[in-house]
Amino acid sequence: MKKSEIIQLLESRNIQASYHRMKILEYLVNHRTHPTVDKIYSSISGEIPTLSRTTVYNTLKVLVEKKLVAQVTVEENELRYDYSEGPHMHFKCTKCGELYDIFDNCKILEVKNIDGHSIDEHHVYLKGICRNCREKNA
């Protein structure tokens, strides 16, 4: 994604497009690996000497509040971040620990009301053994 598109994404949610915010969002857009704060920080701090973990935390907080980025909590002690352009589920491999986006069969994510309850957010997490790990053991 181009720098101008990153700026446009931020501004579309009324987020000031500071250099740090642009680089953090750019990282999330270009690395769909559901990184942790530490992974984001270690990946971009080399090119931004003034970056701190606090800045990463604060930026992610804003991006989540403005619903540009989602927090993904598959395990209680593991908070990851996800930029995605559409509703999807997450699959975590119990063998290698990788987290995958699943876009197939997501009809439940289209539901806005269940039994009179209004749904604002969906969080669907699946666990099992991923295709790569299964193929290694075959």
From the list 9, 23, 51, 33, the residue with the least C-alpha distance to 96 is 33
What's the predicted TM-score (pTM) here? 0.82
Query: Domain segments of the chain: what residues?
Result: 3-82, 89-137
Greatest CA separation for the chain: 51
Q: Is the CB of residue 99 less than 8 Å from the CB of residue 112?
A: no
Q: What CATH number labels 89-137? A: 3.30.1490
Q: 55-79: per-residue pLDDT in tens?
A: 999 999 999 999 999 998 877 788 9
| Residue 22, pLDDT above cutoff 80 | yes
Q: What CATH number labels 3-82? A: 1.10.10.10
Q: 41-57: per-residue pLDDT in tens?
A: 999 999 999 999 999 99
Q: Which pLDDT belongs to residue 69?
A: 93
**Domain 3-82 and domain 89-137 have a common topology:** no
Highest mean pLDDT among 45-59, 64-78, 107-121, 122-136: 45-59
Three-state SS sequence of 93-135 = ECCCCCEEEECCCCHHHHCCEECCEECCCCCCEEEECCHHHHH
